[in-house]
Structure 1
Amino acid sequence: MGFIDKKRHISRMNKKYNYNLRKYKKEDMKEIFELMRFIYPEEKYNNFIHRRRKMWEWEFLENPLIKKGEEKIWVAEDSGKIIGHVATMPVKLKCDDKYYIAHFAMDLIVDSAYRGKGIGQGLMEAWRDSSEIAIGLGLTPAVLPIYYKLGWKVFNTKKVLVKVFKSRKILKKLIKKENILLRTGEKLINSGLKAFNFVLSKPLKVDWKSIFEIYEFDSKIDIFWEKVKDDYNIALRKSKDYLNWKYTNHPYYQYKKFYYMGKDGIKGYVVLRESEEEGYCEGHIVDMMTRADDFKSMGLMVAWIIDYFRKNGVECIYFMTTCANQRKVLLRNGFLPLKRGPVFSVYSHDKDLLKRLWSFNDWFLTKDSSDLEISYI
């Protein structure tokens, strides 16, 4: 993890443009989606509107922490025309022994004809000023100038790991040459990967009956959270309502959810997903939690996950985690660290709290955090 150089990002900021900034109203929805349509022109119109509406309603209206009429959504207008939009996703954040309502910013968009006029900055200020804690994760280069303009610290997490079963996908990203060279390189790298995995992986006998799929999270997960919460200094609260909203009720992604059970209840849980990327199947460990020092349970779960994905024919597995102990277990099981990862930033008007939140190594973040669902290669 390290800071990102801001010098090259802030030069594009221009003087503010005279526009109207206000809270979202229900009748704005159609125009917001029309604006999104121009930002994402590659999808067919009807399919895009239908998908985006369902996602938007799930993210910003159905979240269990949002009370009707209290949504934190803003639009920017020019002569009655919506030219910008930002919405926020609330989460309950544990910081040491206290809980706070934090807000992730989502769907920050500005009409291309109005960019560079301070509109994105105004939308972000509205989000920041209305939030006890404001969090950005998975920030794009386009919005970094605004974060720097507002004086935020921005961290490059570099916390993504990958385990490769087959190398062709990665080679196609790295080698842009003839297929015969690709096939030759693939054989060599696959041999190296097999040797690497054999040396570093320490296969464990997994009790298959102790890890089983669930349809939805139940009250046992709330009991589990109370047991593990003090192991993690800064983390999203993993409640039954939050996890079911996030994974059981997602309008599009099909998540697989599993409990790892012991004699005294849940010892851990994991959420998995598979995706097709450029014709290749990827596995994603979206969320995983045990006691922070329970290396045995972590090792058993990781061994089981590897076997699960291998049987399903995935070519590589990704996991983004800031938990140092999880990373140790993953590395011992043949995962490799990538030199990239989602960009992270956090802000609070409480300066003492902000100083605490800037202790990035105390955060527990996974792909579960924010709406982060992207490939890192």
Structure 2
Amino acid sequence: MRFAKKYWTKRRRFTPEYIYWKFRGQDQATLESFLLAEKEGEVIGQFGIIPCHLKVDEKIYDAQWACDLMVDKTARGQGVAYELYEFAHKKASVTLGSDPSPAASKSMLKNGYVLVPGPRKFIFPVKIGEAFKLKKVNSSLLNYCYNPFLFLIRCFPKSGFQKISSKEYLSLIKRDSNEFMYCAYNKAFLNWRFSSFKSYYSGIDCYKKNADNFFSGYMNGQVYYITDFNCSNVRFFFEIIHFIYSKHKASPILRVKFFSNNSKLSGILPFLGFVRFRTLTQIVLYTTNEAILRAVKTKKFYYTLLDSDENI
């Protein structure tokens, strides 16, 4: 508790039941996926590893997402992070990380991780000011003005999407295993990731128009997170945005955030009122498996907010 309060600001990080849930602890079992380093009875470091599965060339491997790495300032440069990595790597065939901080990225690459290119991150700012906030500019006038492309989006149908179960949603998900490596989801993952957890997490809703056009997501504060989606063309993606905006208009919704693994869509959206982040999402990967290391050289990572621990 003392270590958490020293380095984290969100109160949920001080709550054992939240930590147990986030790192997918099993009922009545020791939490094996939240690692602590101690010295003389005091916590001097932590490392979280969220269990998952990775699919590479039609084969599924046990894997884990690394997150929340932190070493006490007094213990840095003493090999604490290395010891946490070494202990964690024994627990799964593959350890993954997404957009680590500059310090964490440097540490991970130094300790045997490799880079895999990920997707583009986007936001659709409902109010123009939301785009400028990314540059640390907060203007009351711009915060009042609607994105002019919202009026274009509202020309597309908002109806046709029906809420579906996470099980049905799983059956719709499509990935290209020749181009990508990606996370494979099972029932246990669905029960954890899609269901709400007390006041900490609202859970994920799934929607479908047809077999080629569907999405999942949730509202957090005044931001809607599209955790995953598939659309057959730009028109249907506009329908997704219109549906989300209409459903949450009274909230009010200020921005929609998502990752795009579709290179064609990623090239078009910046001309239609969407803000594309400058750099690709950085995925870091550690493994000693030679087949996966070979695949890393030719494949990209199909990464979505379903895989991320963002806002959970």
Same-fold status (TM-score > 0.5): yes
CA distance in 2, matches of 1:73, 1:138: 20
- Residue in 2 aligned with 1:18? none
The amino acid across from 2:156 in the alignment is L
Contact in 1 for aligned 2:25/2:31 (Cα 8 Å): no
> What CA distance in whole angstroms lies between the structure 2 residues aligned with 1:175 and 1:337?
16
What's the secondary structure of 1:142's corresponding residue? helix
Worse-matched range after superposition: 236-245 or 151-160:
151-160
CA distance in 1, matches of 2:262, 2:297: 16
Which residue identity is paired with 2:35?
A: W
Distance in 1 between the 2:58 and 2:49 partners?
25
More helix by share: 1
CA shift for structure 1 position 242: 1.6
TM-align CA RMSD: 3.6
Measured in 1, the distance between the counterparts of 2:157 and 2:134 equals 35
Distance 1:241 1:266, change over 3 A: farther
Q: What is the CA deviation profile of residues 290-337 of structure 1, one whole-angstrom value per residue up to 9, with x for unaligned ones?
A: 37x566654532332243344542222221233325535755753221
- Check whether the contact 1:260–1:269 (CA below 8 A) recurs between aligned residues: yes
Q: Percent identity?
A: 18
Is the alpha carbon distance of 1:167 and 1:299 closer, same or farther for their aligned partners in structure 2, counting shifts above 3 Å? Answer: closer
Matches within 5 A, 1:188-337: 190=145, 193-194=147-148, 196=149, 201=153, 203-206=155-158, 208=159, 210-213=160-163, 217=166, 219-225=167-173, 228-230=174-176, 233-251=180-198, 252-262=200-210, 267-275=213-221, 281-285=222-226, 287-290=227-230, 293=232, 297-327=236-266, 330-331=269-270, 334-337=273-276
Instruction: Look up the match of 2:60.
Output: 99
User: Which residue identity does 1:164 align to in structure 2?
Assistant: P
Cα drift, residue 243 of structure 1: 2.5
Residues 108 and 151 (structure 1), Cα distance of their counterparts in 2 relative to 1, 3 Å cut: same
Give ranges in structure 1 of 5+ residues lacking alignment.
1-32, 276-280
3-state SS, counterpart of residue 248 of structure 1: coil
Return the offset for 1:94.
1.7
Alpha-carbon distance in structure 2 between the residues aligned to 1:167 and 1:294? 25
Shift of 1:55: 2.1
Aligned equivalents of 2:136, 2:13: Cα separation in 1: 33
SS at match of 1:163: strand
Which AA in structure 2 matches 1:152? Answer: Y
Please give the TM-score of this superposition, normalised by the length of structure 2.
0.81
- TM-superposed CA distance for 1:157, in Å, is 5.0
Q: Which residue, out of 93, 103, 111, partners 1:132?
A: 93
Aligned residues: 310
Q: Counterpart in 2 of 1:54?
A: 17
| Paired amino acid for 2:224 | G
Change (3 A) 1:183 1:77: closer
* 1:354 is the counterpart of 2:293: yes
Q: For the structure 1 residues 240 and 301, does the alpha-carbon distance in structure 2 shift closer, same or farther, using more than 3 Å as the test?
A: farther
Quick one: distance in 2 between partners of 1:82 and 1:303?
Answer: 48
Task: Supply the distance in 2 between the matched residues of 1:256 and 1:223 (Cα, whole angstroms).
Answer: 16
The separation in 2 between residues aligned to 1:54 and 1:273, in whole angstroms, is 22
Q: Is the aligned partner of 1:119 residue 2:80?
A: yes
Change (3 A) 1:297 1:197: closer
Shift of 1:98: 1.2
1:82 to partner: Cα distance: 3.1
* Distance change in 2, residues 1:289/1:165 (3 Å): closer
Q: 1:110 to 1:260 in 2, by over 3 A?
A: same
Q: Name the CA shift for 1:247/1:102 in 2 (closer, same or farther; >3 Å).
A: same
> SS of 2:194's equivalent?
helix
Structure 2 residue identity aligned to 1:108: L
SS of the counterpart of 2:102?
coil
AA aligned to 2:14 is I
Q: Is the contact made by 2:163 and 2:205 (CA closer than 8 Å) also made in structure 1? A: yes
Unaligned runs of 5+ in 2: none
Q: Say if 2:38 is the partner of 1:77.
A: yes
Once the two structures are TM-superposed, the CA of residue 183 in structure 1 deviates from its matched residue by: 5.1
Retained in 2: the 8 A contact 1:197–1:333? Answer: no
The whole-number CA distance in structure 2 between the counterparts of 1:319 and 1:157 is 13
Are 1:87 and 2:28 matched, yes or no? no
Q: 2:7 aligns with which of 19, 36, 39?
A: 39
SS in 2 for 1:146: helix
The one-letter code sitting in structure 1 at the alignment partner of 2:7 is: I
Which residue, out of 297, 304, 308, partners 1:370? 308
Q: Report the alpha carbon displacement of residue 369 of structure 1 after superposing the two structures with TM.
A: 1.2
Q: TM-score if structure 1 supplies the norm length? A: 0.68
Contact 2:204 2:217 in 1 (8 A): yes
Q: Find the aligned partners of 1:346 and 1:213 in 2 and give their Cα distance.
A: 35
Q: 1:268 to 1:254 in 2, by over 3 A?
A: same
